[in-house]
Structure 1
Amino acid sequence: MEMRQATAADAGAIRELTRTAYAKWVPLIGREPKPMTANYDEAVTRHRFDLLYVDETLAALIETIREADHLLVENVAVSPSFQGRGLGRKLMAHAETLAHELGFGMIRLYTNQRFVENIELYRRLGYQVDREEVVPVGVVTHMSKRL
């Protein structure tokens, strides 16, 4: 495994991996989740993306945003052919390390309330549900972890 920070040239690969990883949720929620519709040409210049390669194949990524008092995990995507190998856990641990390095004592994330398996994973990693927010397209579950 190798991890590296993305550059603008990676926007297309980020878009493709994210669309593939999130496609399984479309039938559940009846629409494309937010990460499938993001403008990655823009996001890669404004946010940090760390790309995880397995045998030279882009297998997973994590997008983080430095906020005033915490690190926000905006997106975690694992290619379907690499799911179930602990790559999501590895990326979340990486984000926690980044948060520590930036001097933050808190990391936050949000996900769709209907993505139950993701919420369960985050709980196992020590995250708690802070609140649920009703939005026009569903319910967003906001979670955090003190570091």
Structure 2
Amino acid sequence: MPDLRRATAVDAPSMHRIAQDAYAPYVERMGGLRPRPMDEDYAASVAADEAWVADEDGSVVGFVVLVDDGDRMLLSNVAVLPSHHGLGVGRALLTLAEERARARGFARIHLYTHVTMVENQRLYERIGYAETHRTDEAGFARVFYEKTLTAG
């Protein structure tokens, strides 16, 4: 299992590359729209938000970006290289996100995903996230989830 560590500015290009690879399969499903994470400024995310990477022998294979969002933590983005899907990297990053939210004093964590990303929706529901609503924002059909965090 890769080591999880805080992202630094040096990691931003790797995060961008991972987002390209991880989200590329969804472009066709989304009718040619590019998922927002593909165009994210990861240097800015590392500087302004709480970003973590999964590091395997000096190579970044996944990441998560967390944002303070009022009374809860926003899990803004989680992505793993396709070559590392199914190996527990994404699950480790999601667990870390919940641990970090609790450590920061949040009782809830929330996220959203595109309606066509059904694999992600199944995973979120399996690990305790509940769908709260759906909206269409700037042409993106989004599904919103929230999880109430238990202590410790």
Coordinate RMSD, CA, aligned: 1.1
Distance in 1 of aligned mates of 2:138 and 2:68: 26
Q: Match of 1:42?
A: 44
SS of the residue corresponding to residue 88 of structure 1 reads: helix
SS of the residue corresponding to residue 96 of structure 1 reads: helix
Query: How many aligned residue pairs are there?
Result: 147
Q: Match of 1:11?
A: 12
Q: Write the deviation string for residues 38-84 of structure 1: whole angstroms up to 9, x where unpaired.
A: 12222221111100012332111001001221111000000010011
Q: Match of 1:140?
A: 142
Q: TM-score, normalised by structure 2?
A: 0.92
Q: Match of 1:65?
A: 67
Q: Write the deviation string for residues 61-114 of structure 1: whole angstroms up to 9, x where unpaired.
A: 001001221111000000010011121111111011001111111000010011
* Aligned partner (choices 80, 83, 89) of residue 82 of structure 2: 80
Q: Decide whether the 8 Å contact of 2:26 with 2:116 is kept in 1.
A: no
Structure 1 consecutive aligned stretches of length 4 or more whose deviation exceeds 4 Å: none
Unaligned runs of 5+ in 1: none
SS of the residue corresponding to residue 27 of structure 1 reads: helix
| Amino acid corresponding to residue 99 of structure 1 in structure 2 | A
Q: TM-score, normalised by structure 1?
A: 0.95
Q: Match of 1:53?
A: 55
Distance in 2 of aligned mates of 1:101 and 1:122: 21
Distance in 2 of aligned mates of 1:135 and 1:13: 28
Is it true that 1:91 corresponds to 2:59 in the alignment? no
User: Which residues in structure 2 correspond to 1:119-134 (within 5 Å)?
Assistant: 119-134=121-136
Unaligned runs of 5+ in 2: none
| Amino acid corresponding to residue 111 of structure 2 in structure 1 | L
The range that moved more, 122-131 or 3-12, is 3-12
| Amino acid corresponding to residue 24 of structure 2 in structure 1 | A
